[in-house]
Amino acid sequence: MKTKLLILLAIPFVFYACKKDTYTTKPQISVKQINKKVLTTGDILLFQIAFTDKEGDIQDTLWVQKVSRVCPTTPGAQFLTRYRVPNFTPTKDLKGILEVGFAYNSSAGGYSSIAGCGTRNDTCYFKFWLKDKANNRSDTISTENIVLLR
């Protein structure tokens, strides 16, 4: 009876001890939120990218790529850009949110402008990846489809 009780009490500790560490040397990112999935001219598109990093040294570059599914060869419909992550004092096991915004066919609010196909509606998605000071790169993540109405 004592053995069975000991085994039952030990099971939760085994699961707790086997829990995988969520903070890794390679930055981990995920899309937390997208404010709109259908945009008209002048709309602002905001992405919230959640991140974790074991060393907290993410103060390098966030890469963003827009990929058009409708007109992949139209100039301006595709782009790759990078944003410098502001410099700050790193803390171990850093967790936070990076916010990136774009203005659709506009320069509103000081956001970078994105364009669609021009004469027709566009469906696109965005890719993100993060590089830290030690040149560790996160996996590349992709968003859901986003529709840009002409």
More confident position, 95 or 15:
95
pLDDT at 58: 93
What mean pLDDT is predicted for residues 141-145? 97
- CATH class of the domain whose range is 22-148: mainly beta
More confident position, 146 or 79:
146
> pLDDT exceeding 90 applies to what percent of the chain?
65
More confident position, 6 or 107:
107
Three-state SS annotation for the chain: CHHHHHHHHHHHHHHHHCCCCCCCCCCEEEEEEECCCEECCCCEEEEEEEEEECCCCCCCEEEEEEEECCCCCCCCCCEEEEEECCCCCCCCCEEEEEEEEEEECCCHHHCEEECCCCCCCEEEEEEEEEECCCCCECCCEECCCEEECC
Asked whether residue 119 carries a pLDDT value surpassing 90, the answer given is: no
* Residue 38 CA to its chain's centroid (Å): 19
Please give the mean pLDDT across all residues of the chain. 85
pLDDT tens sequence across 57-91 = 999 999 999 999 998 887 777 888 999 998 888 89
pLDDT at 52: 95
What mean pLDDT is predicted for residues 120-132? 95
pLDDT tens sequence across 24-65 = 999 999 999 999 999 999 999 999 999 999 999 999 999 999
- Domain boundaries in the chain? 22-148
pLDDT at 5: 36
pLDDT at 47: 97
